[in-house]
Structure 1
């Protein structure tokens, strides 16, 4: 991994079972096959960046990890638990929505758009899911929310409404909203793509700080500087397949496959 003085992120060599394991994942929308047999393992504390052109399947794969999209076939395992299903005998049985909601608490999701509730304050946005999904009492939920807001530098905005915040501030609140659920893995789906250029840095700064704490992260982004400086592993996807995978020094600076070389040269 290439390192910089301010963003160095080092994890130990992977050991033990992966925290996320994707096995032969397929996903089709009608006649269009978006994922064509993806296999990927992510170990605890790793930062994995997914690169690829629009339509390559990156966001769909993220959404399959927390079952926002139901795979057409294949298996997603998070912390040893098959997502969306339970195993009975030698068969998989789909879980009810309440059980899937519980499983989703393992994975915090940050989208391109912030998806904050406009009629709720920042604090109210953060305590909603812990209280409804995890049954956390209000006092504890507020304490956890304040801690998460402090982590993203937004504690001073706890009582304001989202409409008063900049795009970068709203996205930082969205990250805090995911953190307050205390997930094992954070999933980021192009979290800076909807931001004005001058606001991108503040969100990437929060993500870099999370990486230094040992948070396991899977990030879809075109921010090559972030990938080069923070990722332990970079995965390049093309046409629904994982084409190339390795440290940033390989995939970004010395890609093997022509598709990867063409993509990297187009965005640098």
Structure 2
């Protein structure tokens, strides 16, 4: 069932609401670490920092882990295998619209037949709370070119800061559950919606077309550069570390490997992030 409505919460009640989200599973969000930001478990709102540039590793690591146990097996006396199902309810808090767009791309891949049951089980237990950027978070941001400067779905709740409050866009039943029986969550008045519309209109003046041009132009340019010598020059500088695909929010390639224990009989099968560019 798809549902949609708007609500609001005052900033003075925000901490109370955030603390209550622990009832819905582990909380993950952006926090500072050594001068940068990372998505990590959040135990207290003092750890949360919503003013951040995109993290080095995208939040996809929680619904598509870097290393994931798939099954355990034994070779003797009979070959046996048992799937490992380790899934938890969790809330992914403070996700930018660009990373949410990445999540939607992953959905397209993993929900196609044959569906990836591990991804589906983990994703269906995840509640996504987005935070709308009111200005570019970084000088290298390309929000407008990618069409992600305004929320366009893919989340359960989207928060938009507006003066002394947050406007809450509830986009799913899971999002509604995060607000249920919390009297400090108020109904959004028509005046609040008007303020939100004005804010979004003003954002068009704040978010300008970035250096790479429009997305359609990028497609055209790359198709003409497919056999360009530039790739040979870039390839000479590549050291084959694979980090470009690790930090990409939409890369989904993986490898599968088996690890045997010392008895050479029992083992675990994993899948790990891999790069199709290697």
TM-score (norm 2): 0.29
TM-score (norm 1): 0.29
Larger radius of gyration: 2
